[in-house]
Amino acid sequence: MPDLAAVPARQRGRALAQHFLQLWGHDPAGGGLAILLRTAATNDGAGERVREVFRDQVIPAIAAVAPDAAAVRASLISSQLLGMAYCRFVIGLPALVRLDEGTLVAALGRTLQRYLDGPLDE
């Protein structure tokens, strides 16, 4: 996870999206991250590994910059990132696979930004 405290507040969602896409972009289809994502739903060990990363890395990174409801915000952010990864890198939805990284970072970054600093109850 990037140090979000070192990123200007309004650019944190984009920074998260960029980091995540770079991480997955260097892990070829079928690589360790894709295998983990594929198996997490049906394998207790893989599911626990995903939960460990969430607990040990994602929640603390989000809590450092958005301490109110950090676990909820981190969960929403993770749902977006993992859903995008599943659709783009695992099942290969054609439009999402073809989408250039800059456009994807911008679109995903806006949603992540809202989850970071927007109200949760509206």
Closest alpha carbon to 8 in 105, 80, 116: 116
Match 């696979």 to its residue by tokens. 97
Q: So what's the pLDDT on residue 28?
A: 59
Q: Name the fold adopted by 8-117.
A: Tetracycline Repressor; domain 2 (1.10.357)
Per-residue pLDDT of the chain (122 residues; tens, 9 = 90+): 889 999 999 999 999 999 998 888 776 555 677 788 888 889 899 889 888 988 999 999 999 999 999 999 999 999 999 999 889 988 899 999 999 999 999 999 999 999 999 999 86
Q: Per-domain residue ranges for the chain?
A: 8-117
pTM here is: 0.88
